[in-house]
Structure 1
Amino acid sequence: MGRQWGSAMKAAEEAGCVVSASRAGEPEAGSWSCSGVILSRSPGLVLCHGGIFTPFLRAGSGALTAAGTVCLPGDSCGDDLRLHVQWGPTVASPAGRAERDRLGVCTPQCAGPDSGPLAQPRGRPPLPPRSAELLLLLSCPAFRAHFTRLFGGEAPEQWRFASGAPEDEMSEEEEEDQLRALGWFALLRVLPGETAAKGRGAAVAVAPLGAVPKGAPLLACGSPFGAFCPDIFLNTLSRGVLSNAAGPLLLTDARCLPGTEGGGVFATRPAGALVALVAAPLCWKAREWVGLTLLCAAAPLLRVARAALGSLCPASAALTALLPPEVGAPQGLPLRDPEPPWAAAAVLVECGTVWGSGVAVAPRLVVTCRHVTPREAARVLVRTAAPKSAKIWGHVVFATRETSPYDVAVVSLEEALDGVPIPEPAEYFHEGDFFIPGGDGC
């Protein structure tokens, strides 16, 4: 694997952790867990997803959407809240090797007579869970504003952002709690005597908002299924790119699963810098799965944390100096790359409840997939990015048959597209030059 990925992998694995929340004296009530990022090693500071705290809020999940609420102090949750943080040993230090040898067996929930060879992995099993306390619940106002504008706020039309529970097993109240907690995160402190790793100071550096351009490679690090069997799932890595951005609301095609909420997403430039945290690993539109992960940029979250520690937690104000620094954008490069022409030529095509992508090949002609616009003469809506949110109606003038090996449709528009560059067809290409799985006409 290239050197650029090696640096990001090391930073991601050493900063990754799992956070679990439970009620004191109520083991039958179960626990809630998510992924997190170690911000400081000693004392240990951890940033994780805020969704696991909704069952413990004294005022209920409605406190997260109250007007003007950006942060909540740790005592917003009940006194029965118990938190534990678990991480893996750091790179092969003497202490890490000794701990690994001492704990060279699987945790009780994974071990058993029928567990097979995976029951005793010879890799680097996680260290025992450490107790922690909640300092702050915090959100990024700009993230919430963009989410409301793009998806519809508390009740996004046709959109669903899911956890691991199947839709028919979640109550309406649970779904509302989950949506209200979207974009909320938690700052924790590992209790004294239980440091988050050997050494002192920041565990990661943070990329400023906008420093990573669209299309740049990213590495997501989270633990699928949270605290369930961390011996195999802790700090699972997934590669992708920054697919799109709207302020601090980012999208990536790096594959993330339930339980990775709160996990860190790292850049290769600046090498190993923390770009964002996973806000929602899975989402659907109109019951169709969207293979993109929703992220919240880390830099604005930490700015909120710095301001809130001083105002809401005066006793912990000194911890602001331990929050990780931002690393500058590469010299000579703008914060955002200009939009490439091929991106502007891509359009959104909607036909009833069916939707997909298309490509403008002439001022009044769009090519898409037949399964997006399956009927000739069907009226469809085309949305463009330039100018933003422009809407033009059109009709399907050609569509291949269902039995055809080609999945193509052509849409004739009622108005000409304005400001959309028309792509030139390639004359030559080689096998492997382009591969877009599930491109849906783009």
Structure 2
Amino acid sequence: MGRQWEPSTRAAVQSGCVVSACRAGRPEAGSWSCSGVIVSRSPGLVLCHGGIFTPFLRAGSGSLTEAGVAFLPGDSCRDDLRLHVQWGPPASSASGHAEPERPGVCTPRCAGPEPPTRAAGRPRPRPPPRPAELLLLLSCPAFRAHFARLFGAEAAEQWHFANSAPHDELSEEEEEDQLRALGWFALLRVPPGGETPPELERAPAAAVAVAPLGTVPKGAPLLACGSPFGAFCPDIFLNTLSRGVLSNVAGPLLLTDARCLPGTEGGGVFAARPAGALVALVAAPLCWKAREWVGLTLLCAAAPLLRAARAAAHRLRCPEASALAALLPPEAGSPRGSPLPDLGPPWAAAAVLVECGTVWGSGVAVAPRLVLTCRHVAPREASKVLVHSATPKHRCQQHPGQ
């Protein structure tokens, strides 16, 4: 991926994990899984997507959309909830040589015999995923507000944010649960255990650094780290990397063209600069517009989400939760003064939206009242063409041929 990506790759792989949820003593009830980010190693704190918890909410998924609700305590879920977190072996060292495997941080095999360890030269059983406990469910209020403004009411009629294709067989209740959980995340604690190596327990508390909102400009390269299909066969899917750019920004609601699949929700998205800084978490890996796949991934900025986590932990009035909140990673530097407006690439200011009845597309304003677009976007037989400009905000009307 190039030398510039080495710190980001190392940070992404070392902090990536998979979170699984199931019902105690009821394997037939199925399991749910998503990606997560290890934000602290000592003690172990993990941020993941909140969608896997909707089947366990005592009050149902409707509690996520109640007015004024920004977080829910861990006891909002039923007592039969069981959580497990698994992560992969350490990333390669700076010299490029793989570090030796260590007990407690190895990914369980899908099948097959266990290989011998490099250090001891004898077979060693792989430890199972580590148990975890739910501290709280939280959302980023600013993210939810921007999402409601952009995709709420009539605007959402042809948008589909469930983690499946529109024609897949999902019940109306399941689809509603997924939509309600969009923008919700969970803070988990992984209790210390005998399987964890001493060097990992003595590692610095913060596993990642967080980029402040607004410091990563539109068009900047990003690296997404998630596990497609969640806990399914982690030997091949755990901590899969995908590169893209920051495509657009609306407050804490971000878009990237990095390819993310179902199961990567909750995975971390990192910047090349600041090197290895956590920019966002995946909120929705797939979306559909008018039954067509849109190749953009919806992200929630990490900085405001972690601020919401700290505020929620303090409001729980639980000394333990407050102490853990103080260990959440800090922001990697702050913007100096007011951030400059992001003008994007030089061609962004000239980009316009062209509408012609039910047909729409992009265009380039090459001169005053002159837009260049594709022939099929504005057919000659059309009665009128509407051109929407982003800056300044206005709508103008043109006829074909002008």
TM-score, with structure 1 as normaliser: 0.81
1:106 to 101, 106, 109: 109
What letter corresponds to residue 88 of structure 2 in structure 1?
G
Q: Which of 274, 289, 295 is residue 285 of structure 1 equivalent to?
A: 289
| Equivalences for residues 2-81 of structure 1 within 5 A | 2-81=2-81
Work out the CA distance in 1 between the residues paired with 2:315 and 2:149: 29
Aligned partner of 1:249 in structure 2 is: 253
Q: Residues 91-130 of structure 1: matches in 2 within 5 Å?
A: 91=91, 97-99=100-102, 106-108=109-111, 128-130=128-130
SS at match of 1:162: coil
Measured at CA, do residues 362 and 256 of structure 1 come closer, stay the same or move farther in structure 2, by a change above 3 Å? Answer: same
CA–CA distance in structure 2, aligned partners of residues 101 and 226 of structure 1? 19
What value does the CA root-mean-square deviation take over the aligned residues?
Answer: 3.0
The residue number in structure 2 matching 1:214 is 218
What one-letter code is carried by the residue in structure 2 that aligns with 1:356? G
Out of 371, 374, 383, the residue aligned to residue 369 of structure 1 is 374
User: Can you list the C-alpha shifts for 1:285-308, whole angstroms capped at 9, x where unaligned?
Assistant: 112221111100000010011111
SS in 1 for 2:303: helix
CA distance in 2, matches of 1:150, 1:339: 20
Give deviations 1:391-421, integer Å, cap 9, x for gaps.
Answer: 2333333xxxxxxxxxxxxxx4xxxxxxxxx
Task: Describe the superposition over 1:133-182 as per-residue Cα deviations: whole angstroms up to 9, x where unpaired.
Answer: 11111111111111111111698121111314653311111111111111
| Distance change in 2, residues 1:331/1:142 (3 Å) | closer
What does 1:83-162 correspond to in 2, within 5 Å? 83-91=83-91, 97-99=100-102, 106-108=109-111, 128-152=128-152, 156-162=156-162
1:343 matched to 2:348? The reply is: yes
Letter paired with 1:176: E
**8 Å contact from structure 2 (residues 88, 105) kept in 1:** no
Cα shift at 1:195: 5.5
Distance 1:129 1:371, change over 3 A: farther
- CA gap 1:230/1:378 in 2 versus in 1, 3 angstroms: farther
Letter in 2 for 1:382: V
- Partner of residue 326, structure 1: 331
**What does 1:177-256 align with in structure 2 at a 5 Å threshold?**
177-193=177-193, 197-198=200-201, 199-256=203-260
Structure number with higher relative contact order (C-alpha < 8 Å, ≥ 6 residues apart): 2
Q: For residue 260 of structure 1, what is the aligned residue in structure 2? A: 264
Q: Report the alpha carbon displacement of residue 349 of structure 1 after superposing the two structures with TM.
A: 1.7
Which residue in 2 is equivalent to 1:274?
278
Contact 1:50–1:185 (CA under 8 A) maintained in structure 2: yes
Is there any run of 5+ residues in structure 1 with no aligned partner, and where?
113-118, 398-411, 413-442
Cα deviation per residue 1:354-378 (whole Å; 9 max; x = unaligned)? 3221111222222222333345334
Q: Distance in 1 between matches of 2:76 and 2:154?
A: 21
Using the TM superposition, give the Cα deviation of residue 332 of structure 1 relative to its aligned residue in structure 2, in angstroms.
9.6
Q: CA deviation at 1:322?
A: 1.0
Gap change, CA 1:82 and 1:294, over 3 Å in 2: same
Partners of 1:149 and 1:103 lie apart in 2 by 43
- Report deviation, 1:96: 6.8
1:101, 1:62 → 2: CA distance?
38
| Aligned counterparts of 1:295 and 1:361: Cα–Cα separation in 2 | 32
Say if 1:392 and 1:175 are closer, same or farther in 2 by CA, change over 3 A.
Answer: farther
Q: Distance in 2 between matches of 1:47 and 1:163?
A: 19
Contact 2:356-2:382 within 8 A present in 1 as well: no
Tell me the distance in 2 between the aligned counterparts of 1:229 and 1:67. 39
2:316 is the alignment partner of 1:312: yes
CA distance in structure 2 between the aligned counterparts of 1:5 and 1:128, rounded to whole angstroms: 31
Q: In structure 1, how many angstroms separate the alpha carbons of the residues matched to 2:275 and 2:45?
A: 22
Q: TM-score, normalised by structure 2?
A: 0.88
Percent of aligned pairs with the same amino acid: 76
2-side partners of 1:396 and 1:137: how far apart? 52
C-alpha distance in 2, partners of 1:382/1:126? Answer: 60
SS of the residue 1:371 aligns to: coil
Give the SS at the match of 2:134.
Answer: strand
- For 1:299-336, what per-residue CA distance to the aligned partner results, in whole angstroms no more than 9, with x for missing partners? 00100111111211513211122100101157799455
The one-letter amino acid of 2:4's match is: Q
User: Is 1:360 matched with 2:365?
Assistant: yes
Could you tell me how far apart the structure 2 residues matched to 1:52 and 1:298 are? 19
Q: In 2, distance between residues paired with 1:153 and 1:127? A: 48
Please tell me the residue identity of whatever aligns with 1:107.
C
For 2:277 and 2:325, the matched residues in 1 are separated by: 19
Cα 1:233–1:72 change in 2 (3 A) is same
Q: Which moved more, 1:324-333 or 1:262-271?
A: 324-333
Q: Distance in 1 between matches of 2:255 and 2:351?
A: 17
Q: Residues of 2 paired with 1:350 and 1:40: CA distance?
A: 48
1:226-270 superposed Cα distances (whole Å, 9 cap, x missing partner): 111000000000111111101100011111111100000001111
- Cα 1:207–1:335, aligned 2, differ >3 Å: closer, same or farther? farther
Which secondary structure does the structure 1 equivalent of 2:161 belong to? strand
Letter in 1 for 2:65: T
